[in-house]
Structure 1
Amino acid sequence: MFHACYLLTPRKPAAGRSLHMTHTYIGFTMTPKRRLRQHNGELVQGAKKTSKHRPWDMLVVVYGFPNKVLALQFEYVWQHPYNSRFTKAAMQHIKGNKRIGGMRSVRRKLVELYMVLNLPPWRDLKLTVSFTTGDVHDLAKSVVPTELPVTMQTQIASLDALPQGTRYDETACSICLAPFDAGQSMLRCYHADCPLRSHVACIDECFPEDSRHLPTRVGYCPYCDNELRWTELVARSGNESSPAKKPQRRPEACLEQAQPPRVRSASDDEAPFLDLSFDDVVIHDLTRDAACDRVVDLTSE
C-alpha cells in the first residue's frame, strides 16, 4: 500500500510577483500525481484550500510508511513541528531563525523535514525522500544541517516514476487491509476507476461523526478523494460481499430469476463507530481538504 506525504509550492510565473518557494502546503496522499491534479483544479472535488495560489508544483514526496497512521502522524508533525510535543523541544532553536527562511518557505520546510525524520518513531522507518527536481535536491543539501538516518534514502524522480499502489486485493478491506469474513457486507466507491472496497465500519470513519444521524451524510473517498454520499454509497453497493467469500451457486440456480438486491434505506444505514485508540496519541475529527482520513493530533497531553 502506498502512503505518502508531500510538499507543494506555487509554480513560478513567467513574470510578476510570486509566492514560489515562499509559500508551501503539506499533505497526505496515496496517489501523488492525481492529488496534484486536484490541487491544480484539473480534477473536480477537494483541494479547496489550495485553490487560491494555483498552479502548484509538487517538490518532495516522502513515502514508504508501513501504514496510514504513521503517515498521518508524520503529516501533522511536518505541518506543525513547533506545536507537537514529540518535536517542539528539538525544534525550538530554529523557530526564530530567519536565516532558514520564513515559517512557510520551502527552505524551512526542508530543514524541518530532515529534523523530524531523525526523531522517533520515524527515524527507524525505511523511507524514501523523493525530490522531483535536481534543484530542490541541491537546495536541501545546502540548507539542511543534518543527514537522514541510515535506514532512509533520497532520490530524484518525477511523479510518474514513483511506485504506484495499483495492486488491490478484492478479498480484503482497502482501508484496514483485513480480509472480509464470510457473508460480511462491504461497500465500494461508486466513482469510475476507483478500486476501494471497505468494511462498513471502516468507510464510516471517512464521514464526520456528528453527521451520523443526519439524512444526508457527505465524506470523501480515501483513495480517489472524490465526494461520497452515504445513501448513494449504500444503495449502489446493495448487498455485495467479498468475491472470495460469495457462496457457491448450484448450476441450476443460474437459470432461476435473480431477485433484485435489497437497497438499504437511510433509516437503517447506521454503521458502528470504530473507536481507535493509541498510546500517547489522541485522534480528533478534523475537516480535511479532500480527504476523509482521521487525523492524528500529536499535541494532546
Structure 2
Amino acid sequence: MPLDRPIPAFYCCYLLRSTVSHGSVYVGSTPHPVRRLRQHNGLAKGGASRTARPRLRPWEMACIITGFPSNIAALQFEWAWQNPHITLHIAPEDRIQGATKKKRSGHPKRPRHTVSSLLSNLHLLLRSPSFSRWPLEIRFFSKDVHNTWTKWIKSTPETIRDSIQIHQEFLNENNNGSVVEDVDKEPGQEAVYTRMSHIPIDYTGEKEHLFKSKDIIDFEREGDCAVCHETLQSGGGMHIICPASECEAVSHVSCLGKHFLKDDDDELVPIRGHCPSCKTQLIWVDLVKEMSLRVRGQKEVENLLKVKRSRKGKGKASSQAIIADSDAEESENELELEEEEEEEDADLVDIITKPSQLPEGDSWNVIDDYDASDMESIASMASNMSQKTAAIRSQKGGAALGRIVEDSDCDWDEVEVLD
C-alpha cells in the first residue's frame, strides 16, 4: 500500500466454515465481510474456486480478526495463519503442526487444517512478538467454534494480551441475549449476513474526531505540544489531537508515543495511555487512524464531511429531482470505488510477484511457496485486472484512476477444503 494513503477504515482476516460439512474450512481476508460471504456463497460475483462447490454451500464466517493497521498487515497475518508450519512468525520449537510431506516443487506441503488446528495456531500468532501488540479483536459468530477456542485456552498455560479483545456475537442470540433465528440452511436467507451488518467498515466512527481536529488546524489553534510544550507549527507536521470533546490538547506523534510508553520502556508501539492534558484514556490506534486520515486521506475526508445540498421548490417534482441527484451521486461514488479497487489489486499483484517492493521487516513472503500453477494464477489475475481497469477507464474517458482495497484472492495455495 502506498505510504500516501491513510490507514484503511476496516480490514479483517476470517475463518470460513461450511454449514453443511463442518470439516471444510477456508481462511481469507477482506475489507467487506458481508459482501465477501455473499461471494463465497454464490450470491455475488467473485469468491474463490475453493469455496465454489455447491455441495459445501452455504458457508459461514465462524470468526473474524479485525484491527489491522493496513491491508499488507492483514495479508501478512493471513499467510502466517494459512502456513503455521513454515511461517517465521512462529518459532520452530513452538509449532503445533510441522511439514511432514513435500509438494512436487520440493517445498513443504501444508498440513490439513481443521477448526481446532486453525484456532490453536491463531492463539500462537496472537502471542508472537510480531502481532501481540497490534490492536486486534476477535469476533466469534459461531458458538461451537467459540467453545473450541475456550477449550484450547484452558488447555494451555500461555495467554494472549488483555488488549486483544474477544467478542461473542452468536447467530442464535441478539445483543440482549434473547434467542433469534437459528443457523440458516439456505444461502439466500439473510440472518447469516445481518449478524455482521453492524460492524463499521467505513470512516464514520472517525467523523466527530476528524471534524474537531480540522477545526483546530484550520483556525490555527494548535498552540504548544501537550507533552514537550514546544510551539507547534501551524498546519504542518504529524500532530495528534485529543478526541475528548472539552480538550484541545495537540501533541507531536513521537512525544505522545513516549508519554504512553513511559512505564513500558522495552516496547516501541504504544497500546493505550492517558491524555497529558485531560487524562482521558485513549487508544493509540484510534489516534493514529484519525491523524493518517486527516493528513493522507483528502478524498476520504471530503466524502466524510461534505454537506448534501438541498434544492429549492416544493411538491413531487422537486422531491424526485433531489432523489435523482442523490442516486446519480451514489452511482458516481460506486464507480469511483470500483475503479479504486481495480488499481489496488494491481498493487497487490506487484507485491506478490515482486516481493522486493515490501517494506523492510515484512517477512511473510520470505519462504517461496509458489509452484507453477500459483504463478499462472497470479499472471492471469493481473491480466484480468488490466482488462477490467481499461474497461472502466473507457467509461470515464480515460481519466486517471485511484484505488483502495480488495479481498485477498491471490490463490497462494489457499487453505484446503476438507471433503
Counterpart code for 1:2: F
Find 2:127's aligned residue among 91, 100, 118. 118
Distance in 1 (alpha carbons) for counterparts of 2:116 and 2:341? 42
Distance in 2 (alpha carbons) for counterparts of 1:140 and 1:3? 22
Deviation readout 1:16-55 (Å, 9 max, x if unpaired): xxx31x2210000011111111111111233222112222
Aligned to 1:54: 57
Counterpart code for 2:396: S
Aligned to 1:35: 36
- Contact (CA 8 Å) 2:17, 2:26: kept in 1 or not? yes
Distance in 1 (alpha carbons) for counterparts of 2:41 and 2:411? 24
More helix by share: 2
Structure 2 unpaired stretches of 5+: 1-8, 100-110, 170-194, 208-292, 300-330, 354-374, 413-419
Distance in 1 (alpha carbons) for counterparts of 2:333 and 2:298? 22
Aligned to 1:151: 163
Aligned to 2:87: 84
Q: Secondary structure of 2:138's partner?
A: strand
Aligned to 1:229: 388
Deviation readout 1:108-148 (Å, 9 max, x if unpaired): 11111011111122100111000003332222111232432
Aligned to 1:70: 73
- Contact (CA 8 Å) 2:75, 2:408: kept in 1 or not? no
Deviation readout 1:178-203 (Å, 9 max, x if unpaired): 657xxxxxxxx999577355499756
Find 1:133's aligned residue among 135, 142, 148. 142
Distance in 2 (alpha carbons) for counterparts of 1:199 and 1:56? 24
Counterpart code for 2:71: K
Aligned to 1:10: 18
Distance in 2 (alpha carbons) for counterparts of 1:28 and 1:67? 12
Distance in 2 (alpha carbons) for counterparts of 1:40 and 1:195? 23
Distance in 2 (alpha carbons) for counterparts of 1:38 and 1:292? 12
Structure 1 unpaired stretches of 5+: 13-18, 97-101, 181-188, 221-227, 243-288, 296-301
- Contact (CA 8 Å) 1:3, 1:68: kept in 2 or not? yes
Q: CA RMSD in A?
A: 4.1
Distance in 1 (alpha carbons) for counterparts of 2:142 and 2:17? 13
- Contact (CA 8 Å) 1:217, 1:231: kept in 2 or not? no
Distance in 2 (alpha carbons) for counterparts of 1:31 and 1:87? 28
Distance in 1 (alpha carbons) for counterparts of 2:72 and 2:348? 14
Q: Secondary structure of 2:166's partner?
A: strand
Distance in 1 (alpha carbons) for counterparts of 2:344 and 2:119? 34
Offset at residue 83 of structure 1 (A): 1.1
Distance in 1 (alpha carbons) for counterparts of 2:344 and 2:35? 23
- Contact (CA 8 Å) 2:66, 2:137: kept in 1 or not? yes
Distance in 2 (alpha carbons) for counterparts of 1:200 and 1:42? 21
Aligned to 1:217: 383
Q: Secondary structure of 2:13's partner?
A: strand
1:195 matched to 2:337? The reply is: yes
Going from structure 1 to structure 2, the CA distance change for 1:88 and 1:191 (only over 3 Å counts) comes to: farther
Deviation readout 1:35-86 (Å, 9 max, x if unpaired): 1111111112332221122221110100001111111100000000111122
- Contact (CA 8 Å) 1:128, 1:155: kept in 2 or not? yes
Distance in 1 (alpha carbons) for counterparts of 2:337 and 2:75? 21
Distance in 2 (alpha carbons) for counterparts of 1:72 and 1:57? 21
Going from structure 1 to structure 2, the CA distance change for 1:196 and 1:151 (only over 3 Å counts) comes to: farther
TM-score for both structures, normalised by structure 2: 0.44
Going from structure 1 to structure 2, the CA distance change for 1:61 and 1:196 (only over 3 Å counts) comes to: same
Distance in 1 (alpha carbons) for counterparts of 2:137 and 2:125? 14
Going from structure 1 to structure 2, the CA distance change for 1:230 and 1:8 (only over 3 Å counts) comes to: same
Counterpart code for 1:89: P
Distance in 2 (alpha carbons) for counterparts of 1:230 and 1:241? 10
Going from structure 1 to structure 2, the CA distance change for 1:230 and 1:193 (only over 3 Å counts) comes to: closer
Offset at residue 294 of structure 1 (A): 11
TM-score for both structures, normalised by structure 1: 0.59
Counterpart code for 1:218: N
State, as a whole percentage, how many aligned pairs show the same letter. Answer: 23
Aligned to 1:264: none
- Contact (CA 8 Å) 1:81, 1:91: kept in 2 or not? no
Going from structure 1 to structure 2, the CA distance change for 1:49 and 1:192 (only over 3 Å counts) comes to: farther
Distance in 2 (alpha carbons) for counterparts of 1:290 and 1:48? 14
Offset at residue 149 of structure 1 (A): 1.5
Offset at residue 89 of structure 1 (A): 1.2
Aligned to 2:223: none
Distance in 2 (alpha carbons) for counterparts of 1:190 and 1:290? 22
- Contact (CA 8 Å) 1:6, 1:27: kept in 2 or not? yes
Offset at residue 93 of structure 1 (A): 4.5
Offset at residue 3 of structure 1 (A): 0.7
Q: Secondary structure of 1:57's partner?
A: strand
Going from structure 1 to structure 2, the CA distance change for 1:126 and 1:90 (only over 3 Å counts) comes to: farther
